[in-house]
């Protein structure tokens, strides 16, 4: 599909293609399943298929970065855009890694290094209180803009509470999923099937909330 920076703004967003402002393969896979389940009468196009590079995420919150990414993709494509900004917050670390989750160890998207750094940063906490579970919170904020200068972005947020392990378990998922323990399910996020994860995850919650607003 050609990119048209001068495409007229329409009021019916359900008669257009939408751009998904992400090049993260794990996120794209989850979005594809979740939007397929929603049965929307639109086509979701990953920004990579339109040769749109990642936006510069210089916001200080998940919400700011989600809006930045959505506006960036919409401005280049001329289409409505949805953006996700998500990450893991660990209260005992001052809610780190937070918005820097994907580049916590310095290199963007290196899951193994990010997980290793998180385990290392929590060693002193575990040493002081070895029997106390370390709480963690997955956060997902979705922003949708009808056009690049939309003054009223649609915002949805999902929160997923769990505990942080000191060793990885499970072969599925991505990011910090192997360290994210769910006491009620007796499994890590990486041990869940894609279907089960979508039912309870932060991203699944946010997408369902976004669809309700639409």
Instruction: Enumerate the active-site residues.
Output: 85
Tokens of 40: 């929307």
Beta strands 96-97 and 81-90 are: antiparallel
How far is Cα of residue 160 from the mean position of the Cα atoms in its chain?
12
CA distance 114 to 85: 17
Residues with Cβ within 8 Å of 194's Cβ and at least 6 positions away in sequence, in order, are 29, 30, 33, 172
């Amino acid at each position: 599909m050609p990119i048209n920076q001068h495409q007229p703004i329409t009021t019916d967003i359900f008669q257009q293609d939408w751009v998904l402002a992400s090049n993260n393969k794990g996120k794209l896979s989850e979005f594809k399943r979740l939007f397929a389940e929603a049965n929307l009468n639109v086509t979701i196009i990953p920004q990579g298929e339109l040769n749109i590079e990642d936006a510069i995420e210089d916001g200080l919150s998940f919400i700011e970065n989600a809006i930045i990414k959505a506006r960036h993709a919409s401005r280049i494509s001329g289409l409505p855009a949805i953006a996700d900004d998500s990450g893991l917050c660990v209260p005992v670390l001052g809610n780190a890694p937070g918005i820097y989750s994907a580049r916590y160890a310095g290199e963007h998207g290196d899951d193994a290094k990010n997980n290793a750094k998180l385990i290392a940063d929590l060693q002193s906490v575990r040493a002081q209180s070895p029997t106390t579970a370390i709480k963690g919170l997955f956060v997902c904020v979705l922003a949708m803009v009808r056009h690049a200068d939309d003054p009223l972005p649609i915002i949805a947020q999902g929160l997923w509470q769990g505990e942080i392990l000191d060793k990885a378990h499970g072969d599925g998922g991505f990011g910090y999923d192997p360290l994210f323990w769910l006491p009620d399910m007796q499994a890590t996020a990486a041990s869940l099937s894609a279907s089960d994860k979508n039912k309870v995850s932060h991203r699944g919650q946010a997408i369902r909330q976004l669809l309700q607003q639409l």
